Homo-oligomer: A and B are copies of this chain.
């Protein structure tokens, strides 16, 4: 009994997708290599890859002319530049946009500074500016964008708004997706900044080997993003990771230990207070060391609540304070040893302040992949509709 026509069409489609997977993220590959990677027969792989070339998803890399060992095999390469995606971090202090190709290679990035108390209109205008800059610098138009993801502060609901709460003034009434949809046809997604930072740590950061990750945002705000079984967890209403709202786990007051450290010179701006305290603690200042100790002790209670709930493989400490990981991580681990049944590995983020934008890129790429791998492949010359 052979499969029916319908069965075979489905099989052919699956095989075509498996060739796309085998091409992506690999150097130019021969049909023999593609056959080995996919488990498909060589003739099947050959037909499939040629169809992908015809549709614009792959290009032929002709063998070098100066080869001396017989006729070298033709190679095929995924066309990463068939489309591009945009990841944007709309933060309190900055707006950062990154433009990447379908392999996730960042082609261009732009940032502009904003003030934490900027009103929604000027924050949206700053977002428009960084996007316009990305397009102008690369020569792309809005139609070249296949997906856009925007990171914001606060739990994000289904409509892409932060109605439950956000520290950005006036921002609960803003709908960034709607704002962008007026100018771009690409699918637009809005996501919480801590969640995106967690995604970035698993993609390009210090948790690439882990499937169960708690990302801690340690900065003027304290927050968390959760990856469980390799998947970003949003929660039923988009509010997963918001443990900091519970007074008993002591995150709400934690940064104040640093902000109000005795001996802090009046000349130090509030945004630079923590850096001053960490530096003074490093130099042995007693009051600064006590402030750091109290901060870490409070940070650890909320972290312990997350660790005891999820029992993750890795805790990644990110955010502004993670630049002082050298004096935070060791006491944090000691506190967790005291509070938890099993202490996960604790690692400091190395993505500086680019984690949110990188995570946004990754979600935008996931959006493109979802369309790539669930529908039959449209030719990239006509990008998949949103």
Contacts and interface: CB of A to CB of B under 8 A. Distances in A.
Given A236-B313, A311-B239, A341-B242, A305 B249 contact: yes
Interface stretch (A78-86, A225-233, A261-269, A317-325): A225-233
A309 B313 contact: no
Contacts of A229: 228-229, 231, 233
Nearest to A51: B1
B245 A248 contact: no
A165 B249 CA distance: 23
Nearest to A343: B237
B8 A40 contact: no
A186 to B, nearest CB: 26
Contact of A341 (B212, B245, B249, B313): B245
Interface stretch (A41-49, A68-76, A176-184, A353-361): A41-49
A220 to B, nearest CB: 20
A7 interface: yes
Interface in A48-65: none
Interface in A1-46: 1-4, 6-8, 11-12, 15, 39-41, 43-44
14 contacts: A1-B44, A2-B2, A212-B236, A229-B233, A240-B311, A242-B309, A245-B340, A246-B308, A246-B339, A248-B249, A248-B250, A248-B301, A249-B305, A309-B310
